[in-house]
Structure 1
Amino acid sequence: MADMKTAASLEKASAPDAGSTARAGAVMAAGTVVSRLLGLIRTALLATAIGTSARMSDLFTAANDLPNFIYLMIAGGVFNAVLVPQIVRASRRPDRGADYVSRLLTLAAAVLLVLTVLATLAAPVILRVVTPLAGAELALATVFAYWCLPQIFFYGIYAVVGQILNANGSFGPYMWAPVVNNIVSIGTLLAFLTLMGSEQAQGHSPETWTPAQTVLLAGGTTAGIAIQALVLFLPLKRLNLGLKPKFGIRGMGLGRTAKLASVTIVTMLVGNGLYFVNLYVATLATKARDGLLAQDPPVLIAGLTNLNVAVLVYQLPHAVIALSLATVMFNQLSSAHAASDLQTVRAILSQGLRLTGVATVFGAAALLAFAGPLGMLFSESAGAAALNATIIAILAVGAPFLSANFLLGRVFYAGEDVKTPLKIQLILSAVGVSLAVVAGMSDPRLIVPTLAVAYSLGNVTAVVVSHLFLRRTIGSYGAGEVFDAHVRFIIAGMVAAGAGSALCWLFGGYDDGGYLWQSKLNAVVVLVVGGVLMSAVYAGMLRLLRVDELHQLTGSLRARFRRS
């Protein structure tokens, strides 16, 4: 109770206006919503093109995931966390940070180019280490990797330019640029389906795959990432900073930055190293798939692509709400830390957790209720849809914890504390590797579902561990009030999920031959009708429970749309 009173007094005294934070987040969330919707269309087209439970899908997924995770391991944490406070400080100089930003962009481009070239040349070695693939499958995955690994350079440029824009108060372009990427990818996939045919029609395999198919699939994907990065230079130019290539790091204050970056790199190596453990374990299921498919009747099992599709879906609430709000809040937290104003830091965090929770709890409830139709959207058959639905439902339980932990972690980085996140990540990676080993020892049919359980348990563990460390760092931030708010969110979400599940039952969601499972269009109908029903029930329950956070979010969105 004392914790709750403390948080309330802090918020009244020093929290930034919730509406202004949510409005700034709404600008970014709008771009994220459009981007994610297009991303879902892209994923559905990719599932149609190469399947989700077929050999080709896992080979391409393994190769296409590499650039993102190599970038995150080596540079992502530095660009997305350590540099933001430095850019914010530089923007307050008389030249608005022009000299610092020019040198930073030049240095980042040089480092990224070297990293990209080295990683691309090492593609065969990397794939041998992180997957159990061999023979023709390894050879084709390597070809895919040669086409995909140049994405590392463009991921980095996108992150650096995006953070420069954010530090200067230009939040929208960073979240809208992926829209262009998805449009390019959708175009190339439509061309692939027109020229090469679908997985169901052609039964693509490493033995029949052609260079032209590789160019369209992998080359088109990389082209989209490149354009996503390059379009950010247009709003960057409008800042009128007079940027130009500028070598030399003296006077940039990179000594402290380098110390922070070195620890952050270790943290990202540990954290994303866990991904490569999970990648290896998931591809064990891929290797076992051929033998099970040859049985009579054939046995479908979830593989790496099924896991990736489910992760994409369950991260939607996090991407649309938490990432958008966290980006705005990070600048606020950095400024508060720079002023040694822990009272404002605590208030910002408490407010952010509650604003995020009202959306992510609903997202988790919707994922649980509509796992079936969502799985159907990204599958080549009803059997594959059931596999996707199972993984989505398991991951949905941990969705709110994913977002909460992300916000907790931003507080450490805003205060330029990089050692605590490393300690936390070491604990979480130890737990994650242990669970991955258990999954790898399971029956092939249970490997990916067990990994999904590990993801959800990891998210819950992360919140508990981060909370304990954060209490020691900034003191009480009103966790009691945050917990109380989430209890009300969960009650409302459970009632809404019950309504959604009843609707799925009416549409044959629990019958093998039901309406829901007959086509992707039917699944869309269920999602649209069910989404409207669940939203109405959730909003009504929140009003009944006197929850104010939803009003703050929706009011800000309405104000934004009226101005537009």
Structure 2
Amino acid sequence: MSGTTPPPGDPQDVPGGPGSEDGSTPGTDGSTRGTDGGIRRGAALMAGGTAVSRLLGFLRVAVLIAAIGATGQAADAFAVANKLPNVLFMLLAGGVLNAVLVPQVVRAYKRHDGQEYVDRLLSFGFALLAGVTVALTLAAPLLVSLYAESGNAAQQALATTFAYWCLPQMFFYGAYALLGQVLNARGSFGPYMWAPAVNNVVSIAGFGLFIVVFGDVSSADGWTAGQVALLGGSATLGVVCQALVLIPFLRRAGVRYRWRWGLRGSGLGRAGTVATWTFVGLTIGQLGYVIVSRVASAAPGAAGPAHTEVAGNAAYDTAFTLFMLPHSLVTVSLATALFTRLSAQAHDRDVAGVRTSLSSGLRVVGLFTLLAAAGLVVLAEPVVRLVLASQPQGSVDAVAGVLVAMALGLPAFGAWSMCQRVYYAYEDAKSMVPVQAAMAVVVVAGTLLGRALLPSTSWVAAAGLSMSVSYLLGTLLALRAVRRRLDGDVDGARVLRTHARATLAALAAAAVGVAVLLAVQTVGPDGVPGALVQCAAVGTVMVLVYLGGLRLLRVRELDQLVGPLLRRLRGRRRP
């Protein structure tokens, strides 16, 4: 759904970054600079930061699971509390920043009074974040009741206590997004994508200390104030560090922020209109997520005491973390590197340029997400086993089922993300609201239908599958609307051909991958070593089969992606 929540500690899926179709990069004065490698370097730098953050994020998840489990009362209580600031940030601030900040900042720095405008925008953002964070922290019991339906008093009380510690993260997530987007607009892309690594390091240290001091605790009963403070405080301290680490880079990027209050005459009226419609759309999406969260929290209790390893909110979060990895490494990095270009083209009414940028983004993202989806479906169990190294097989199976349901929608999720950038580039959040409403209806209907027809052990997987369907519907509706804006043409035939050929290659890779997986499982080791061997062997074979299939089917985008890397490698080999 449009309001899907990113895992804690990861960069928000927000636009902003370098690049134009000819390889040059818009300068802050409206000029262009750089070469064809500019966008690739920007995307590679961001992807590198995201990759490190995600790897550390997996370690963070593994340590957290070792402390409180992947299923059970304590895990689900902490999952609800720690995702609240992410959900609320996406609803109240994150999406507004997506739609407003980058276009406004890029244009501001083209004016002589641009820094004053940015100062007012930042001051207003900090004040809004502070006020909303205080109010929502005080409302922690109400928020936990809204997002959780556990039926267990001890679990509900523990989640509320955790929420008091975790909800202040919202202010620092917001500060991180505000400062990071200003850095992106100034051409400094690395700090924003690398800062979450600091968050993960701090959290890992805190969770590790929890294990050393208190051991593993899976029940919601008997938690002391010290236990809650160490676990919840570690999560929040990581977010604080993630925001503060950006401050030194602002001066290096030439930003001299001063507190300036007052919106009159600042030109924020149009931005406020865009923000309002963005808020409406995200609210609709979050209504769907409330249903998902409540159904997930009710699933373990409905399964009864005989089933102790049932997917709930914690299992959902773990599966979502794995699902987001290819999206973060490729889709977010590429979309971020394309967004400033799209904003400039939209501002200049360059319809052909927007069409070309969207087509390029859809085709390149599709090549990665189709392979990633096939890989996650085939390797769901061994991948989850690597993350849940200390957990029983029942927990692994529960999370793997949710991951497969989510992974099926990964290509559509990538395409939907690219379509969103076009709406944001035109500052037209209003037209996106009907699409978000339709997606939310699919999520709610699918989740409730799964609850009514399926055993509780499959409720969260049904919610994940309904989200996958909603991404497909959202992409189709969005492309239809964008087509009208782009003079009736989104280069659809070319995009469809690329996706059709890549789908055939991905299906072939999946078929071969299943055969190799069965063979390795038969002769290879068990447990974590076996999962590592399976991922390495099957993953390598699937990539080779996929690349061979793309070459055989003459997918030209493969040459565009691999060509620069091969040329660079040849250059390094020369004496």
Give matches, 1:164-243, under 5 Å: 164-198=182-216, 203-243=217-257
TM-score by length of 2: 0.89
Does residue 490 of structure 1 match 2:499? Answer: no
Distance 1:16-1:286 versus aligned 2 partners, 3 A rule: farther
Determine if contact 1:64/1:149 at 8 Å carries over to the other structure. yes
SS at match of 1:436: helix
Could you tell me how far 1:446 is from its partner in structure 2? 2.2
CA–CA separation in structure 1 for the residues paired with 2:140 and 2:568? 46
* Aligned residue number for residue 96 of structure 2: 78
Could you tell me how far 1:195 is from its partner in structure 2? 1.9
Does residue 502 of structure 1 match 2:515? Answer: yes
Could you tell me how far 1:37 is from its partner in structure 2? 1.2
* Aligned residue number for residue 301 of structure 1: 310
Determine if contact 2:99/2:275 at 8 Å carries over to the other structure. no
* Aligned residue number for residue 264 of structure 1: 278
Considering only aligned residues, what root-mean-square deviation do their CA atoms show, in Å? 2.0
1:34 equivalent among 44, 48, 52: 52
* Aligned residue number for residue 5 of structure 1: none
Determine if contact 1:80/1:159 at 8 Å carries over to the other structure. no
Give unmatched runs, 5+ long, in structure 2. Answer: 1-19, 24-35
Determine if contact 1:19/1:552 at 8 Å carries over to the other structure. no
Does residue 364 of structure 1 match 2:373? Answer: yes
CA–CA separation in structure 2 for the residues paired with 1:558 and 1:407? 27
Does residue 414 of structure 1 match 2:425? Answer: yes
Instruction: Give the letter aligned to residue 88 of structure 1.
Output: V
2:462 equivalent among 450, 458, 466: 450
Once the two structures are superposed, residues 502-540 of structure 1 have per-residue CA deviations (whole angstroms, 9 ceiling, x without a partner) of 22212327xxxx856x42233123222332222222222
Instruction: Give the letter aligned to residue 459 of structure 1.
Output: Y
* Aligned residue number for residue 3 of structure 2: none
Could you tell me how far 1:337 is from its partner in structure 2? 0.8
CA–CA separation in structure 1 for the residues paired with 2:122 and 2:185? 14
Once the two structures are superposed, residues 306-339 of structure 1 have per-residue CA deviations (whole angstroms, 9 ceiling, x without a partner) of 1221121112111111111111111001000111
CA–CA separation in structure 1 for the residues paired with 2:561 and 2:243? 29
* Aligned residue number for residue 556 of structure 2: 548
Once the two structures are superposed, residues 29-85 of structure 1 have per-residue CA deviations (whole angstroms, 9 ceiling, x without a partner) of 111111111111111222222111221111110111110011111111111222211
CA–CA separation in structure 2 for the residues paired with 1:553 and 1:412? 26
Determine if contact 1:349/1:408 at 8 Å carries over to the other structure. yes
* Aligned residue number for residue 462 of structure 1: 474
Instruction: Give the letter aligned to residue 503 of structure 2.
Output: I
Could you tell me how far 1:281 is from its partner in structure 2? 1.2
Does residue 320 of structure 1 match 2:329? Answer: yes
CA–CA separation in structure 1 for the residues paired with 2:491 and 2:155? 52
Which one has a larger percent helix, Structure 1 or Structure 2? 1
Distance 1:231-1:299 versus aligned 2 partners, 3 A rule: closer
CA–CA separation in structure 1 for the residues paired with 2:275 and 2:144? 27
* Aligned residue number for residue 151 of structure 1: 169
1:274 equivalent among 273, 278, 288: 288
Comparing 186-195 and 153-162, the one that deviates more: 186-195
Could you tell me how far 1:560 is from its partner in structure 2? 8.4
Determine if contact 1:398/1:456 at 8 Å carries over to the other structure. yes
CA–CA separation in structure 2 for the residues paired with 1:534 and 1:283? 36
1:440 equivalent among 429, 451, 473: 451
Does residue 529 of structure 1 match 2:549? Answer: no
TM-score by length of 1: 0.91
* Aligned residue number for residue 300 of structure 2: 286
CA–CA separation in structure 2 for the residues paired with 1:171 and 1:508? 42
Does residue 519 of structure 1 match 2:533? Answer: no
CA–CA separation in structure 2 for the residues paired with 1:384 and 1:560? 44
1:481 equivalent among 494, 503, 511: 494
Instruction: Give the letter aligned to residue 222 of structure 2.
Output: T
Does residue 539 of structure 1 match 2:547? Answer: yes
Comparing 547-556 and 260-269, the one that deviates more: 547-556
Could you tell me how far 1:556 is from its partner in structure 2? 4.8
Give matches, 1:353-432, under 5 Å: 353-379=362-388, 380-432=391-443
CA–CA separation in structure 2 for the residues paired with 1:535 and 1:43? 26
* Aligned residue number for residue 118 of structure 1: 135
CA–CA separation in structure 2 for the residues paired with 1:204 and 1:447? 22
Could you tell me how far 1:146 is from its partner in structure 2? 0.4
Instruction: Give the letter aligned to residue 118 of structure 2.
Output: V
Identity of aligned residues (%): 40
Higher relative contact order (CA 8 A, sep 6+): 1
CA–CA separation in structure 2 for the residues paired with 1:437 and 1:383? 24
Could you tell me how far 1:348 is from its partner in structure 2? 0.3
Instruction: Give the letter aligned to residue 391 of structure 1.
Output: V
